[in-house]
Each structure stands twice: as C-alpha cells, then as structure tokens.
Amino acid sequence: QLELDFIGPLVLLQGRNAQGKTNLLEAIFMLATSKPVHALNEREIVDWLAGEEPIPYCRIAADATIDGRATALEIILTPRGDGVNFTKQIKINGVAKRSMDLVGVLRAVLFLPEDIKLVDGGPSERRRYLDVALCQIDRAYCRALSAFQRVLLQRNSLLKTLREQNVNPAAPAVDAQLAFWDEKLVQHGAIVVARRHNFLGELESHARERHAELSAQREQLALHYLPSFNPGHLSDSDFELLGDGLLTDVSPVTLDVAAVGAAYLHKLASRRAREIAAGTTLYGPHRDDLRFLANGRDLRTYGSRGQQRSAALSLKLAEVRAMTAATGTAPLLLLDDVMSELDAERRSMLLAVIEDVPQAIVTTTDWDDFTPGFRHRSQLFHVQSGHVTPVSHTEVSQEVDSG
C-alpha cells in the first residue's frame, strides 16, 4: 500500500534499479490509458501478495486537478471466480464508468528507456504507440478502434470457418456473408487508417524539428505510415515502392475517410479467396506499420543505436507538442530513468520540455543526473523496496557532495 502527495510541478524520485520506481509511473500511466504498459493482462500487474488478503484486489486512485477541475480517478481490479482473470472497475468522481471513458481524462506521455523499440521493434509496438497517443486526444478514434477490433474478431472467426468448410469463394452465399462483415470492418477501419495517417503527419512536423536539433542539422527525419492497402494517396506503383522502402520522398497529404473506405472495401472484395484460404483478415489497420527515415535511410535497418534513440526521443517530444495543440493543455510527463541513456545535448533538450508542462514526474538512479537547480525546484523522494520516502534538498546535497 502506498499513498503519495505530489504537490509541485516537478517531482523527482531516486532509487536503485528494481525498487519500484517504474511500477509507480506505470500505475499513473494506467490511470491515463486504462491499460497496463507491459503486462499482457490485468492479472500480471497484481502483486502476488494480494492473494493472501481476505479479499484480494488491486486499486489505483488519484485526485488530480485537470483542466482546472478537481477530478478523482480510480481503477479497481478484483479476481473472478476462476482465480485467473480479473474484473476491472473504473470510477470517475465516484461514478462507475467504462474504460473508454477514462482514457484521455488524465493525459500523459510516458518516456521509457525501451522507447527505442518504437524504431527497432516490431510493427505491433508502433501501432500500439499510435493507438495510445490518439485515444487520449480523440474519443471518436478510440470508439472506432474498439469497434474495429470487435468486428475483426467476428470476421476472422467466419473466415476460419469458411476455410475449414473448404467453400467456394465465388459462391453467392459466401459472398453475402463476407460482404456484411466487410462493410462493418470498413466502416470503422477506414477511420482508424485515416486518423493514424493524418496524426503521424502532425507528429512528423514536430519530430523533424526536434531531430534536426539533436543531430546538429545533419539529419532530416521522416515518418511514413505504411498501410496494408493503398488508401488512395499514391499511385499503385508508388505505393508498392513505399512498401519496399524505395520511395523516400512522400508529399504530406490528408486522407479522407470516405476515400479510404472505398479503397479498403475494394481491397477486401478483390482478395476474398486469399483471405478465405488464410482463414484470417489480411488487410486493415491491424496489419499496418510506420517507418522512421533519416536522410532517406530506414533507421530500423540502417540506423545506429544513437540515431534510433534520437528518433524515438524526437517522436515522444513531438507527441507532447501534438497533444498540447489538440487539447490546449500540456500533458503530464512521466520519465522513467531516461537521463542515464542520453548525452548532455539530449538531456538539455528534454529538461527544456519538462519546464514547459504543468507537472512532470521523473525517476532516476542517480541524483547527479540532474543539476542542483533542477533538484532545488523539485519535490524529492527516495524509493527503496517499494517504500517512497520524502527527502530534503539538504539531505540530497549532502549525499551528492559526499559522493
């Protein structure tokens, strides 16, 4: 059990690795997104010791001032009868809500050392990043994404059944069945594809500026959204080149949902036999990706670790700007021991961003990662074995001076 009062715009928590600093930030971020950062399901985030309680449960709650209003947020996880899965309850100001209603109330951007996975990891990492960022600022997007995922499960179930029955893809009955689900999938999927593409364009303008500063103007960053079908912004030949990484200069264009929907529907209809043979949906936002390029070179394949880290940092810094522009309010910043991974120039840039937001909660293993001035402006805590203890500026200064 832990209860903390973060009263200032800057909060700095220091402790060795594996003491609980990351857990604290992830708990706060879960209040912003309703989902765990690393765990695949809610069961994985509940402490094993909770099972020894008479009524085992997990509760995360916060009282915050959001857009000038006092707001109480709460997530409660309780085990179901099977002892494996958990039920999630959401409350906002004491009123029961859906998970979707919680997302975007407390807007936050989380910086982690493993953010480099956004560049060198798999496509699912990048799709999840876009979804989490967009859901915090666009409720319509979040609803469309949720609806798309529900329809996708049903359509995949049908495709699997059709494959097992070895049906004729051209049979009228098969066509009628899939046409119904195609329309549903396109209705929501087109919104997801168009919004992701357009949002990435907004991020790119900010990220390019940040990356140029980080590379001393030597590199120009580009972000390309790679849908699994041509949404109509390129010729078919250019779209193929884009997918192969051979088209590096893409003019920014805003996608129209209706046009994307028409292209998506055509793709599904023309690839029906292939999808039945596969027993799954092969085209749509669940198969999309994004690519980072510096001076036209794919950073996932050809970038150094330093270049990849700079690109990931530039993207996160761009997210702060884009979220501020979309909502009129800067998000809460959560930084988990990222200073140790950065050189002096990158640290300076990140510290400048921290100064521009209403509140930042930062963790570190070493007080020396931050200047005396930054520490003096911060509320300071020491973290050890899950216990968080306030410490004075005098105590920290003496600890730093003694080495």
Q: How confident is the model at residue 352 (pLDDT cuts 50, 70, 90)?
A: confident
pLDDT, residue 80, reads 80
Whether 64 is covered by a domain: the verdict is no
| 366, part of any domain | no
- The confidence score (pLDDT) of residue 39 equals 66
CA separation for the pair 353, 119 (Å, rounded): 22
Residue 269 domain-assigned?
Answer: yes
Q: Kindly report, residue by residue over 107-122, the tens digit of the pLDDT.
A: 999 999 899 999 999 9
Query: Residue 402 has what pLDDT?
Result: 85
Considering the domain boundaries, does residue 304 fall inside one? yes
Average pLDDT over residues 70-89: 86
End-to-end alpha-carbon separation of the chain, Å? 32
CA-closest candidate to residue 223, choices 241, 244, 197: 197
Between CA 393 and CA 372 the distance in angstroms is: 9
Position 377 in a domain: no
Residues 6 or more apart whose CB falls under 8 angstroms from that of 361 comprise 6, 11, 13, 25, 28, 332, 333, 334, 335
> Is 70 exceeded by the pLDDT of residue 254?
yes
Q: What is the DSSP letter of 111?
A: E
Q: What is the mean pLDDT of residues 354-369?
A: 90
Least confident of 90-94, 127-131, 287-291, 328-332: 328-332
Checking if the pLDDT of 383 tops 60, the result is: yes
Confidence of residue 354 (pLDDT cuts 50, 70, 90): confident
CATH number of domain containing 164: 1.20.1050.90
| C-alpha–C-alpha distance, residues 105 and 314, integer Å | 25
Whether residue 227 is contained in a domain is answered as: yes
Q: What is the pLDDT of residue 353?
A: 84
What pLDDT shows up at residue 1?
A: 82
Read off the tokens for 252. Answer: 């920014």
Instruction: Tell me the per-residue pLDDT of 172-222, one tens digit each, with 9 for 90 and over.
Output: 999 999 999 999 999 999 999 999 999 999 999 999 999 998 888 999 999
- Whether 49 is in a domain gets the answer no
Question: Is 146 a residue whose pLDDT tops 60?
Answer: yes
With respect to residue 392, please indicate whether it lies within any of the assigned structural domains.
Answer: no
Res. 44: pLDDT tops 80: no
Flag whether pLDDT at 48 surpasses 70.
no
Domain range for residue 233? 108-328
Q: Residues 6 or more apart from 155 whose CB is under 8 A from it? A: 178, 181, 182, 184, 185, 281
Number of structural domains in the chain: 1
